[in-house]
Structures are given as structure tokens and as C-alpha cells.
Chains A and B, each alone.
Chain A
Amino acid sequence: MSTTALTYLFVALSFALYIGIAIWSRAASTKEFYVAGGHVHPIANGMATAADWMSAASFISMAGIIAFMGYDGSVYLMGWTGGFVLLALLLAPYLRKFGQFTVPDFIGERYYSKTARVIAVLCLLIVSFTYIAGQMRGVGIVFSRFLEVDINTGVYTGMAIVFFYAVLGGMKGITYTQVAQYCVMIFAYLVPAIFISMLLTGNPLPQLGLGTTLEDGSGMTVLAKLDAVLTDLGFAAYTASERATIDVFAITAALMIGTAGLPHVIVRFFTVPKVSDARKSAGWALLFIALLYTTAPAIASFARLNFVDTVQDATYETMPDWFKNWEDIGLIGWSDKNEDGHIQYGPGNAFEGGAPTFGEERGSHGERVVTSAPTAADNEVYVDRDIMVLANPEIANLPGWVMALVAAGSLAAALSTAAGLLLVISSSVSHDLVKKTFRAGTTERQELLYARLSAAVAVVVAGYFGINPPGFVAQVVAFAFGLAAASLFPALFMGIFVKSMNRDGAIAGMIAGLGFTWVYIAWFKFWEPAANVAENWWFGISPEGIGFVGMIVNFVVAFAVARFTVKPPEKVRELVDSIRIPVRTQSNAPKL
């Protein structure tokens, strides 16, 4: 069977599985729609959280980014895992004890204010839509490369599938589908990694492969060889940092805190039965996530080594199929700048202005003619970072079924995250905006209908962004984490740990943190992109890391305002007391 046929088979089988699960676990009540009834086992919830959390960015892009950034890619590894420690220790158990359906729910009740609730909904919508656009795009790329259909057809198919199980099944359907998607995803990630680790180092554990001696007779470890090869070509060493320490620090902190403040991750902990389950479940979630996250750095270094080995000083005529396939989609480009007939790969951009544009005709070696202006750098190769994970099995010459598996796995990663995001979008609209803010008398049946309607609208909006990606999708990822870190996390944290924090302090803090972070990122990303260099950054912190400073701004403003305004009412202080202990107190015990 051809690779394309195998891919169709794997993708179709996995989709059939997800739809089957969705039908089996339809949601009948708002409680099932929002929090799966609160009866999810902590280990199942851990798997679902892992699938929810690991998006197309984790599955497709992360290893590629690390491959090209080396040590500096560590910010994503530590940032996207360390946040779970904050979540498990500082937020999840208490929010579970609070026992409502959404994140704005907590902020609205704790700060006894509709304004606070609406601000929280706003933050949530910005963060979630930013994210979901990227997922739909990921679905489109996988479809176009592996199933050889139009990107738009791919996005429509993805929309239809997500629509089906998120709108019908709600959190209940999503949870059990995500468990299946986690299994597909992790299997698809580990199989090629193990194969490649065996081929390169003879060690089947990719995590250990990094430090294992290569099988090529050089007697060097993977990392030592990589450092030597890269410095030879004029790159910085793979294990050395090219960024200022303070910037690496701030980016890691912003990603960690942002992770802990992401609504679609937090609500997953509303689905387990008890407080102690919420604590354990976070541990399981991180364990499942770590299986992929500790493999990624190995994949990254293997991929970079293989890539340099294949490309450097070879001729275009001898390039393997994967090089030409990705060139056809425009994610690889080569122009023989020094006209020696060989491919030279080195530091610096090969062409002006990022991704190159191509002409219709072919060059003298059969390559696509790049019409972008060449730069002065000796580097002749443009390669998009996102292709590394998808191309890795081909680069390593693995059998066709492995590639089919990777395609199914990347779709699982994108769809599971998209579904989780759709759910928090729809529940914050139907529950927080419609029911709790604008139409108090909404019945449960109406609310469920509103929830499904807003999920449907959100799917369409997400699909629109997938087909017409705003040029700034990549840039706004910094927004999502920065904003979550600067707005939602401090409000949630103070709601639990600072009993004296009042409405005015929390609202002022959220607005200040959000505003500060927004302006800083927008200034460097949209208004003055040319000024986005280290010399102009405050304290040397890049827009990616500014959410950390935004969080500090939030805390400072909140405490200052709270000092001079009215203390929270007694009822709220009792609420804080009750969420701090895992059992029911007399005041909120059931009336028997």
C-alpha cells in the first residue's frame, strides 16, 4: 500500500474512533456539557488534560523550534511543563473545591462583581481564539501534505469532526475522545523517535539518546557531534545560549505562569470528583505530557544532525524525495548563490523577508526558482521549522506506515486542543455572559442550547481563521501566554491565597496587567516591528517574556488599590475559608 493510502486509512480509522466515542458519551445536562458530570477518573482526566494541552504547536512545531534554537529552545520545554507544578500546587485543588463550571465563574463570585466576570470572559476569549486559529491551520497543513487535498478542504473536514463531537458531546464527549487522542498522539510521536534513536545511537530510549555515543564510528555523543558540526558551519554551539539570561528567565516564567492561567487547562480539573483527585490528576497529566516533552529534545537533536548530514555540500540532483516534496509546498527553498552546484547550509537567513516566494519555472538543477532577493549570507537554504517532526521519518528513511501514523497523530493533537478550547469558549458565553450576566432567568435547557450554539459559532470562526490565517498568527502566540500570565493567573492566585483582596484591587490589577502586556507586545509586534531588537527592550526582556513583568504589575496595582478601598464582605471571606479545605464545612454542607 502506498504511503498516501496508508495515511487515509489511519486517519479514517482514528476519526471513526473519535466519532464512535462521541456518540457513546453524549452530554444530556449542562453539568455533563461543562464538566463531564464531575465523575472523570483522575488518570483518565490526566490523559485528557495531556491531549488538551499538547496542541499542534507541541506535536508539530516544538521539536523543530528546538532543533534550530538548541539550548534556547529549553524555554518551551521548562515553560510548558513547569506551569503544571503551579497549577497543581496553587490553583487546581482550590478551584475544584469551589466547584463551579468555568474560570470566570470563580473570578465573578470571589470578587462579587459582574465587571470582574466579564473582564475574565474577555481575557478567556482572546487567549482561546488565538490558540484555536493555530490548531485549524495545523489541521490544514497536515491534510495538504499527507492527504494531498487542498488546505481549505482539510480545514473544513477538521471543522466538521470537531463540530460533531464538541457540540454534541460537550465536556463528556471531549474528555473520552481526548483519552483516545492522547493514545494515538503519543504512539505516533514515540515510534519514529525510538526508530531514529536506534538507528543513530543503538539506544532505544530517545531520552538517553542525547548523551549516547553515535553508531557512525566517530566515538562522539549526539550532542558533542552536533556542537562540532554546527560550530564548523559557523553556527553557535547547540548547547550554548544566544539569548540574554534575563530574557530566557522571563520567557520561561511567562510560559509557566501563562500555562497555569489557561482556562481550557484549568477547567479540566473541574471534572474530577474530589479535591485530592485534582491534585493527583495534575501529576498524571504532567507525566503523560512529559513522555512527549522529554522525547522532543532528542528528536530535535537527531533531526538537526540528520538534516545537516543530508543537505550540506550535496547536489540538488541527489536530494531525497522529502526535500523536493516540502520544496513543492514552499516550506523548503534553495538557490545556488555561489553557483558551485552544491547546497551550502549555514547561519543567517538565505533570503530577504522570511519565507521565500517562488517563480513558475525550474532552475538549471531542477530546483524551484526562488524569486525573493538573496541575502549576503553564505547560507543558501531556507527551511521552515515546522516541517522537522513531519519530515523526520522521511529524513530517517522510515517505512510508510510510520509517516501515516505521524499524520494521524498530528491531527489528534490539533483536534483535541481545538475541542477543549471550543468548550471553554462556549461555556463562558452561555454560562458567564448569557446566564450570569445578561439573562438571569435562563433555564438549564436554554443554557444547554446556548452552549451548543456558541460552540457552533466558535467552530465557524475558528475555521475562518484557519482558511484565512491572519498574518500575525505566529506573533499572537506571545499574546495568549502573556495575557493569561498577566491577567488571569494573578486574579486566581490572590482569590485563593490573599483573603483581603477585594473587588477593586482585582479588577484594577487585571486591567493594569492586561493593558501593560498588550501595549508592550503590540508595540514591538505590530506598530514598530523594526524596533523589536534587544537594545530597545525594557530590562532586555523580549515581548515573549513580558507577561512575567505584566504579572508583577498586576500584583503591585492590585495590592495598592486594595489597601485604599473597602474590604471584601464577610460572605466572601467565608468562601475563601471553604475553598482552602478539601471537605465541606457546616455552612455549605448539604441540607438533609
Chain B
Amino acid sequence: MSGTESHRDTSGDRTQAYWKANLRELAWLLAIWFTCSFGFGIVLAEPLNAFTFLGVPLGFWFAQQGAIYIFIMLIFVYAWRMHRVDERFGLEDDNEPDSYDLDDAGGETQA
């Protein structure tokens, strides 16, 4: 694995497959995002209030506490899983040069 960055395989099929993998990650993460906030916190809040969690009615807890904790986890899970997808496709940016540094050398618009 000694190729320089510019020799990476970024041909159509490969990047297409990578993009599909990204969309799959987005789909299930956003489904959880929607369910926990709009679902449990709003639409289903009233029936869920029949239960209590940590002494707080459950629907109210989701709306004022739980949804926020889940949001944080979703972002970190996405960052972590996407990095693994990047690696699977050989597209991880760990050794990428900083694009602003390149702009200095290579003119100002990036294709």
C-alpha cells in the first residue's frame, strides 16, 4: 500500500459502491434520529407518558433529555462506521494532505 494519494483507484464503479454504502449508513441512522425525536418525543409522547423512566414520564423524558443523548451517539457512530467504510474502499483520508495547503500551491479553484 505505498501508492501516493493521486494513484488511488477512484473509478466510477468503486465510488458508486462507496456512495451506496454511505447512503445505507445514513438511512438507518436517520431512521433512529426520526423515531426517537419525532416519534417518541412528539407523536407518541402522550401514550409513553404512562411509563416513567428515572422518575420522569417517558415521553417527556425523550423530548427533554433522551433524544439529545441519542443524537450525540448517532453522530459518533456515523463518524466511526463511515471511517471503516472509507477503509474498506481504500478511501480513508488519514494521510490526506490538507486541502487548503494544496490550494496555495495549485491555484485557487478546486475542480
Contacts and interface: CB of A to CB of B under 8 A. Distances in A.
Chains A and B come from one and the same complex: yes
Contacts of A469: none
Given A582-B96, A590-B106, A82 B78 contact: no
B98 interface: yes
Given A39-B98, A583-B10, A90 B56 contact: no
B45 A276 contact: no
Interface string A263-298: 000000000011110011011001100100110010
B64 A274 contact: no
Contact of B79 (A223, A276, A581): A276
Contact of B98 (A38, A256, A586): A38
Interface string A549-592: 00000000000000000000001001101101111111111111
Given A275-B93, A297-B64, A590-B105, A249 B75 contact: no
A274 B99 CA distance: 8
Interface in B12-26: 15, 18-19, 22, 26
- Output the residue of B10, B61, B86 with the most chain A CB within 10 A: B10
A211 B54 contact: yes
Nearest to A77: B64
A375 interface: no
A252 B100 contact: no
Nearest to A589: B6
A276 B86 contact: yes
B110 to A, nearest CB: 5
A582 B106 contact: no
Interface in B44-93: 45-46, 49, 52-57, 60-61, 63-65, 67-69, 71-72, 74-76, 78-79, 82-83, 86, 91-93
A583 B15 CA distance: 11
A202 to B, nearest CB: 13
B111 to A, nearest CB: 4
A210 interface: yes
B55 A221 contact: yes
A273 B98 CA distance: 6
B63 A74 contact: yes
A84 interface: yes
Contact of A85 (B74, B91, B98): B74
Given A71-B63, A89-B29, A276-B93, A581 B10 contact: yes
Interface string A100-112: 1000000001000
Interface string A217-252: 000010100000000000000010100010011001
Contacts of B72: 283, 286-287, 290
A249 B68 contact: no
A85 B70 CA distance: 10
A509 interface: no
B41 to A, nearest CB: 6
A585 to B, nearest CB: 4
B110 A588 contact: yes
Given A85-B33, A208-B54, A580-B19, A239 B111 contact: no
A252 B45 CA distance: 14
A249 B42 contact: yes
Given A89-B26, A274-B93, A294-B65, A78 B99 contact: no
A245 B54 CA distance: 25
B42 A245 contact: yes
Chain B contact residues: helix, strand, loop or mixed: helix
A253 B41 CA distance: 12
A141 interface: no
Given A99-B99, A276-B83, A88 B45 contact: no
A109 B61 CA distance: 44
A25 B92 CA distance: 31
B67 A81 contact: yes
- Output the residue of A223, A256, A578, A581 with the most chain B CB within 10 A: A581
A440 to B, nearest CB: 12
B63 to A, nearest CB: 4
Contacts of B69: 290, 294
B65 A297 contact: yes
A525 interface: no
A38 B6 contact: no
B68 A88 contact: no
Nearest to A270: B100
A582 B71 contact: no
A212 interface: yes
Nearest to B60: A239
B49 to A, nearest CB: 7
B46 A89 contact: no
- Output the residue of B42, B52, B67, B105 with the most chain A CB within 10 A: B42
Contact of A74 (B30, B41, B82, B92): B41
Given A71-B63, A82-B71, A581 B18 contact: yes
Contacts of A98: 110
A592 B103 CA distance: 13
Contacts of A574: 111
A84 B103 CA distance: 28
Contact of A211 (B6, B18, B56, B98): B56
A38 B100 contact: yes
Interface of B: 5-6, 8, 10, 15, 18-19, 22, 26, 29-30, 33, 37-38, 41-43, 45-46, 49, 52-57, 60-61, 63-65, 67-69, 71-72, 74-76, 78-79, 82-83, 86, 91-94, 96-106, 109-111
Given A276-B92, A571-B111, A587-B111, 11 more contacts: A31-B104, A98-B110, A99-B100, A276-B86, A276-B94, A290-B72, A575-B111, A584-B8, A584-B99, A586-B10, A591-B105
21 contacts: A31-B100, A35-B100, A73-B64, A78-B68, A84-B71, A89-B29, A89-B78, A252-B37, A252-B38, A252-B41, A252-B42, A273-B98, A290-B68, A290-B71, A571-B111, A577-B15, A581-B10, A581-B19, A582-B91, A586-B10, A588-B110
**Ranked 8 nearest A-B pairs via Cβ:** A211-B55, A74-B63, A589-B6, A38-B100, A283-B75, A279-B79, A211-B56, A297-B64
